[in-house]
Structure formats: structure tokens, C-alpha cells
């Protein structure tokens, strides 16, 4: 099994610690506008949603890249190889989720690479709104919540 990034917007504090550490890890600077993760906050609905590349199994960015700079890694990450990249930015247009951005200062694409298998956003998140874990059925929160409701309704009293 391989691990995936799972987001739980209902737990997000909107603190953007993930943006801060992501940008620092990638550039050694604090530059949240150029982080590979972005937190989108909706004031009225009282919710904030962390968004980052979900490492597609059939990635449009990889298909459109004219020089083969986007590759699968054994961590499950779809990684953009800066050495091969010619900066055509087609991957930005191709991504259906808008999860590749351009850092004009460094003149390169920014895309989540799962930090080589230890995503910093998940480790810094104070409220477990971003978690990095095995994509097993028991880890899928929604399934669990429904199952627990069944337990409440039909379960035997243990005491």
C-alpha cells in the first residue's frame, strides 16, 4: 500500500502553517503565495480548505509535458524534474485542479512532491486537517463515521 495526503476541511483552522512550511522547505524563504499548498477560506461558511496536488494516477500534467519532465516516483508522487523542465507552463494549464503554480521569482513550476515521502504540511498541521496515511478503508473518515452511527444504533451495551 502507499500513503496519500488526505484533507479534512472540517478540521482546518485556516492558520496556513502548511503554506508557510511548504514554501520554506522548497525555497528556504517564507513565501506562502508560492507554496504548493494553498488554504482557501470561506468566511461565511466558516470553513477553510487546504488544496494541493493529489498525485493523479493518470496525470494530465505528465501527458502534456513535451519533454517528459514529469515522472512517477515510488513514493506515489508525481514529480516535476527541474533539470528537464523547459518552463513552457503547459502543465499549469493542463492540471484540472489548478494545483501547479508558477514562481516568477525563481522562474520555475511549483508542485507538491510529497517532500520525498514525508510531507511537511501534514507533519506541521495542528488540527490533523492534512494527514498523510495509508489509503485503507479504515482510514477513510467518512466510512468510519457512518459505521460508528450503526454501532450507536444497533450496538450491544458492553457494561
Please report, as ranges, the residues that interact with another protein according to CB under 8 A: 10, 13-17, 20-21, 23-24, 27-34, 43, 46-47, 105, 124, 126-127
Q: 102: helix, coil or strand?
A: strand
Nearer to another protein, 1 or 46 (CB): 46
**Minimum CB separation from another protein for residue 62, in Å?**
28
Nearer to another protein, 63 or 105 (CB): 105
**Minimum CB separation from another protein for residue 124, in Å?**
7
Q: What contacts 24+ positions apart, CB below 8 Å, involve 46-51?
A: 47/9, 47/10, 47/12, 48/9, 48/12, 48/13, 48/14, 49/7, 49/9, 49/12, 50/7, 50/9, 50/12, 50/18, 50/121, 50/125, 50/129, 50/130, 51/7, 51/97, 51/98, 51/99
**Minimum CB separation from another protein for residue 13, in Å?**
3
**Minimum CB separation from another protein for residue 11, in Å?**
9
Q: Which residues pair with 98 in a beta bridge?
A: none
Nearer to another protein, 127 or 141 (CB): 127
Nearer to another protein, 33 or 144 (CB): 33
Amino acid at each position: 500500500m502507499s500513503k496519500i495526503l488526505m484533507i479534512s476541511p472540517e478540521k482546518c483552522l485556516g492558520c496556513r502553517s502548511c503554506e508557510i512550511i511548504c514554501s520554506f522547505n522548497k525555497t528556504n524563504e517564507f513565501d506562502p503565495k508560492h507554496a504548493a499548498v494553498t488554504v482557501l477560506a470561506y468566511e461565511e461558511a466558516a470553513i477553510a480548505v487546504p488544496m494541493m496536488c493529489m498525485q493523479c494516477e493518470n496525470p494530465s500534467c505528465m501527458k502534456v509535458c513535451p519533454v517528459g519532465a514529469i515522472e512517477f516516483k515510488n513514493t506515489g508522487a508525481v514529480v516535476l524534474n527541474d533539470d528537464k523542465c523547459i518552463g513552457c507552463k503547459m502543465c499549469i494549464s493542463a492540471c484540472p485542479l489548478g494545483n501547479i503554480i508558477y514562481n516568477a521569482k525563481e522562474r520555475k513550476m511549483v508542485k507538491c512532491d510529497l517532500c520525498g515521502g514525508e510531507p511537511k504540511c501534514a507533519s506541521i498541521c495542528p488540527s490533523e486537517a492534512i494527514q498523510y496515511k495509508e489509503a485503507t478503508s479504515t482510514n477513510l473518515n467518512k466510512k468510519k463515521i457512518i459505521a460508528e452511527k450503526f454501532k450507536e444504533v444497533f450496538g450491544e451495551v458492553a457494561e
